[in-house]
Structure 1
């Protein structure tokens, strides 16, 4: 059988089924199918999402594939040009899918926000992926398209040399008083966070193997803000952002430095809250969550009672559609650097004067967990299929900024109702 363009794997999971819903519009010009462990569940999901999208999806090609059956993964991978993998947590279920895709010569994208998984995949499979001409790109959802492609957008519009970028994430709801349920995350995302924190100490060893040589330091060095502070950029009380954005961005910046001789951008990420009280409560919760995740008994409690330990924000059923449709995100990015008139001869040269130029941009979108994320994931897949001539020519395991910096991914994201908007706020 002729290969399909795209197969959505894990299509009956929470993220998977909303990816199928968005595929009706994002993949409308491509041949796509779905894959999962159970045919009846796949059929039920297609009926549900078809009704939601007002489109008959009953003839959508279906594939039975299970991470515990490597032959089924190989068969799935051989049946398409790119696998869109929504089956997490990826530390448990991702590697076998990546391996099957590479050996089948099939591209792979996912929405992982798990640095250990992403960097392990790069360490183990980058060379083989390059040999096979395959792109494996993780973090193609809310973690970390806004930050990584946001910095790509910053550099394209800066007209000079960027030294550093600070990101300030604000999440909100259009109708905060609406009765749309408390839950904001599904259980799979919570599970990924629990195990990611539990094994955070793995990262040092992985990075020592992945990057035996450190990047040179570029001055001035971007300093960390205080642990809790009021940001004039977004008028919110901010804490350090605990997600994978910074690790993903720094991998992209290293890649672009090593392959394009581009001065790497320094970056710190923050998340904003409406008051000191809310930010303090979140900081306290995060501390308790981090401590509990370090011990087996603590992890058992976190996973058994997600609603209790998240104040009702996480549930096994996931958020209601009413809640998802009302949520949005805005990521404000403050870039500082030097105008083009002060550009140095070599990217490794050091500036002796402090930065004099500032650019403020914003990346925003609706329903970050399951709307913008699903559109971004599918848009990344579309971009690999259509713009591969603008990507690093050898293939490989890489983050979005490295893979898509010269492509039309940003304009693809801006096409769709649940996509993302990139805009300039101020240029000084």
Structure 2
């Protein structure tokens, strides 16, 4: 029997027995304090074990948290799960294989949905297929709600709110590492197997994006000048004094989708963006580039993908594993994203968003977004914070619903303030304003 609106839980964490899911349960104890939440997955015993384990870690009795059995291969169970809550927090990836049926069930049930996908093909396909239906049903579907897309996408919003002018372009420089004084035997924070699997199949099917984007955006944006040029393949950045490579994640695609939305809906000049990942030395950067080249080549062929998936530790130089990183490694890890913006002061603002500047940008702003345990602390807090924001501030979100990237959904909300409240959240700060 479907739950009445009064019986509905506020939040259900789906995929709670997975690696990301169980740490989302741990963070839910504090982030969702005061809300009615439950967990869902295909195995009740595993879910009970997660509640016991994470309850002990959080020093909280979670034995009364509702458990819902739902399986991605049983669409009826997904629909019943979606009907039992106001928002589904979906941690069950890779979303390319398992995400769409959950999204479809949520829209049918009139239930919001957030996830931590970093898979452009999945995210953009969901927008293409379900955006109009989500609007009709009054449902928000928001992906990329974790590290590293939240720091990048909401970081650009933070830049624009503090720029006091018009931003032409931003460059992001992301670093991660272990805290000073961390024990030498904890290993690295690394990736769990699901994240590695998503990366393998995402790269393998990257050529799908052109057709998806042609359907999603049949009308191209006008060109805005000056155009932000891509840096060299490998370079030393004066902004962070590190050796940098182009960042291979979904940050740029997520930010550009948000900027396109804000241009189409708010007539705001879109910010151009390029993303880079930083390393402490040329040797480390060259080594990473070497492994990345092998990864990219192997992902294009079925036999190569099979090897990558069978031996993640070997082909990632120990970064990915089927067991995931250790607790100690996660607790001692951190990330830092520096964002450098260029633009014009308020006094030079043009009358229309489509007008072109004749003078080069003459104003800069640098900001930084930082946080601990990026993969399974900051990510889980960000994911839950987006759910909380939808529940509390849907009146500040665009329209009545839709399939949206984070900044498009949350630019006018207090999401950044919410992220800054929590121990494993994120801090946004201004470094220099010239």
Choose the corresponding residue for 1:222, options 228, 236, 257.
228
Q: Counterparts of 1:27-426 in structure 2 under 5 Å?
A: 27-174=32-179, 175=181, 178-182=184-188, 184-426=190-432
- Residue of structure 2 in register with 1:17 after alignment: 22
Structure 2: stretches of 5+ with no match in the other structure: none
**C-alpha displacement at 1:172, in angstroms?**
1.1
CA distance in 1, matches of 2:28, 2:424: 11
CA distance in 2, matches of 1:28, 1:135: 22
User: Which segments of structure 1 move beyond 6 Å, counting only runs of 4 or more?
Assistant: none
Contact kept in structure 2, 1:222 and 1:266, CA below 8 Å: yes
Contact kept in structure 2, 1:112 and 1:143, CA below 8 Å: no
Contact kept in structure 1, 2:343 and 2:363, CA below 8 Å: yes
**C-alpha displacement at 1:407, in angstroms?**
0.2
CA distance in 1, matches of 2:184, 2:395: 47
Structure 1: stretches of 5+ with no match in the other structure: none
Deviations 1:168-220 (A, max 9, x none): 00111014552113461100000000000000000001001111110000000
Aligned residue pairs, count: 428
CA distance in 2, matches of 1:423, 1:211: 34
Deviations 1:331-368 (A, max 9, x none): 00000000000000001100000000000000010000
Deviations 1:218-253 (A, max 9, x none): 000001111000001000000000000000000000
For normalisation by structure 2, the TM-score amounts to 0.98
**C-alpha displacement at 1:390, in angstroms?**
0.3
**C-alpha displacement at 1:143, in angstroms?**
3.1
CA distance in 2, matches of 1:251, 1:29: 34
Deviations 1:138-172 (A, max 9, x none): 00000300000000000000000000000000111
Contact kept in structure 1, 2:419 and 2:426, CA below 8 Å: yes
CA distance in 1, matches of 2:63, 2:259: 44
CA distance in 2, matches of 1:121, 1:365: 29
**C-alpha displacement at 1:393, in angstroms?**
2.1
Contact kept in structure 2, 1:183 and 1:314, CA below 8 Å: no
**C-alpha displacement at 1:394, in angstroms?**
2.2
CA distance in 2, matches of 1:295, 1:49: 39
Match of 2:274, SS state, is strand
CA distance in 2, matches of 1:123, 1:394: 17
Match of 1:314, SS state, is coil
CA distance in 1, matches of 2:285, 2:126: 34
CA distance in 2, matches of 1:345, 1:230: 38
CA distance in 2, matches of 1:213, 1:187: 38
